[in-house]
Structure 1
Amino acid sequence: MDEKKTLIEVRNLKKHFNVGRGLNLKAVDGISFSIKEGETLGLVGESGCGKSTAGRTIVGLYDITDGEIIFDGMDVGRLSKTEKKQFTRAAQMIFQDPYASLNPRMTVTDIIGEGIDIHGLHKGQERQKRIYNLLELVGLRREHANRYPHEFSGGQRQRIGIARALAVEPKFIVCDEPISALDVSIQAQVVNLLEDLQNEFGLTYLFIAHDLSMVKHISDRIAVMYLGAIVELASSHELYEHPLHPYTQALLSAVPIPDPEVEKNRKRIMLEGDVPSPINPAPGCKFQGRCRLVQDVCRKNAPELKEVRPGHFVACHMVK
């Protein structure tokens, strides 16, 4: 069986925001990973850890501060105008808030058709036929085409957002917490839809979320992010069965288990303190102020992300 090729490779990516007075907010501070064609990489972490900023930077919504993004052999930071248009077609995004991301003054036809028009993919009847097909593909009906976003439920609006992303026939989609704003009863439907679309069209996903149980369900591999850095990266099964970084262990200990006896007796790892400021983080390990294993070396030197088991990478001085 042929090894799938790497579609996107992120190398030491940084995204800093100037917040005035000569200060920079280091939202993404040197992350590296790759995603193969047809694979789903889950990106998890607490709110404010930089995962959404990473996704937006990868698809070009934010300029890169430093580092490289190699997409299908192209350096995204050095694309010509024509190549950048090709990239924006190949890499799409599904946003967290399905209402804020849809223009309330545009009909569903206009929302889905916008990308088709920009890239000159279909015109006239072919364009309308394509829009109808996309609506049916995501579980909506043709008569929805002439309605406005406010006429739909949250789950339906997210399906419109998915149809918009699919309209230009992308290879890669960043799913930025696509289910966090939805009712629990709808979340599984949307995740199953994303999986079906991936199987049908060979899509590659970066799936950003904070719901670890859902990430396990959809992801082939999972990267755990803390304060702008990746602290652990492994296959979905390996990460859940053998979490090695103390932050990952704490996150997983908070995931409910659907067995009352097991849930009642298991030990939770409670993190002390707050997430430090990304504007002026202390030297050394970013997790040092909340870690139960902290040593002097953690306060002096930032740990590198190293492979400690086959395919299992950890950034921790205490993990050998």
Structure 2
Amino acid sequence: MKKDAKVLIEVKNLKKYFKVGPNATLKAVDDVSFFIRKGETLGLVGESGCGKTTCGRTVMGMYKATGGEVMFDGIDIHKLNKSEKKKFTRRAQMIFQDPYASLNPRMTVGDIVGEGIDIHGLYSGQERTDRIYNLLEIVGLNKEHASRFAHEFSGGQRQRIGIARALAIEPEFIVCDEPISALDVSIQAQVVNLLIKLQQELGLTYLFIAHDLSMVKHISDRVGVMYLGSMVELASSHVLYDKPLHPYTQALLSAIPVPDPEIERTKKRIKLEGEVPSPINPKPGCKFAARCRYAKPICKEKTPEFKEIEKDHFVACHLV
């Protein structure tokens, strides 16, 4: 990815709220902003329930935004009509977390991969068959697998089918929604390396959502850290991992295991104390204040601004 590559996705003050009662609102994504350049991978990390997946689905238009904009190549995807939305889905696809639940058990692998081709009328007859066979080979399967059903495959193979389905209509942008979290550890690196290889060969742009911080570092050009629906830090991968500024990012990174037993034994982990506040009708102030060891009175009174502290390094913290 070139540093001067044009911005393909720009998310501006994105909000996605859910009504969960007569006077209760769950703020799943709350005023999140970021951009992704063409050919780049932006990693999105955070604890379960922080809003990563909801953010990814709202970026894709699967959820209607409560507020803010998602600009794809200069067009707000939440203002598209039906025919324009179809054109957008030709250029943007998604790989889901659960490779079994996301595949229709009644369809053969060939029909699963070919469904997008049929919807967009890209190929027919022998061309369609050849395209499906080629996609299966690209992701590490073979053409004999086209006549089988999803339940006949392992988790890693199912995720490869999901990747082939996403690639079928030749998209530019793919949201990878925790594509490795349901897989065996021995398979995770294979899938991530496949995604890197496909990006290099096809010029793809990724939003890569995951729990595994070491895998995110491996695949991402830049990394964003979310906490309770808000972005708390965003920087290039090497800067974020070498010099984390937000206390939450520091705690997350301290929990990454180190393969060297000597270093692992002496490494200092930052343990977060206190209760995670509810994302329903959150109070003013920093959402992390109740668990932050550095919290000052201002942290509980005023919401910190997400601002650029250094070149391309954004943080939402009063103390930085």
> Are residue 105 (structure 1) and residue 79 (structure 2) matched?
no
Corresponding position of 1:177: 178
Runs of 4+ in 1 over 2 A off after TM superposition: none
Corresponding position of 1:238: 239
RMSD between aligned residues? 1.0
Q: Distance in 1 between matches of 2:237 and 2:283?
A: 31
Task: Return 5+ residue gaps in structure 1 as ranges.
Answer: none
Residue aligned with 2:47, SS: coil
> Are residue 130 (structure 1) and residue 131 (structure 2) matched?
yes
The share of aligned pairs that are identical, in percent, is: 73
Corresponding position of 1:17: 18
Corresponding position of 1:77: 78
Corresponding position of 2:149: 148
Corresponding position of 2:94: 93
Corresponding position of 1:161: 162
Q: What does residue range 20-39 of structure 1 map to in structure 2 within 5 Å?
A: 20-39=21-40
Corresponding position of 1:64: 65
Residue aligned with 1:93, SS: strand
> Are residue 45 (structure 1) and residue 46 (structure 2) matched?
yes
- Residue 269 of structure 1 aligns with an amino acid whose one-letter code is I
Q: Distance in 2 between matches of 1:148 and 1:2?
A: 42
Larger mean CA deviation between 278-287 and 232-241 belongs to: 278-287
CA pair 2-315 structure 1, distance change in 2 beyond 3 A:
closer
TM-score by length of 2: 0.98
Corresponding position of 2:269: 268
Distance apart, 1:80 and its partner CA = 2.4
Q: Distance in 2 between matches of 1:174 and 1:248?
A: 22
Distance apart, 1:81 and its partner CA = 2.0
Distance apart, 1:229 and its partner CA = 0.3
Corresponding position of 2:307: 306
Distance apart, 1:71 and its partner CA = 0.1
Residue aligned with 2:190, SS: helix
Distance apart, 1:266 and its partner CA = 1.6
TM-score by length of 1: 0.98
- Residue 108 of structure 2 aligns with an amino acid whose one-letter code is T
Q: How many residues align?
A: 319
- Residue 135 of structure 1 aligns with an amino acid whose one-letter code is L
Distance apart, 1:122 and its partner CA = 0.7
Q: Distance in 2 between matches of 1:75 and 1:313?
A: 24
Corresponding position of 1:258: 259
Residue aligned with 1:284, SS: coil
Larger mean CA deviation between 276-285 and 234-243 belongs to: 276-285
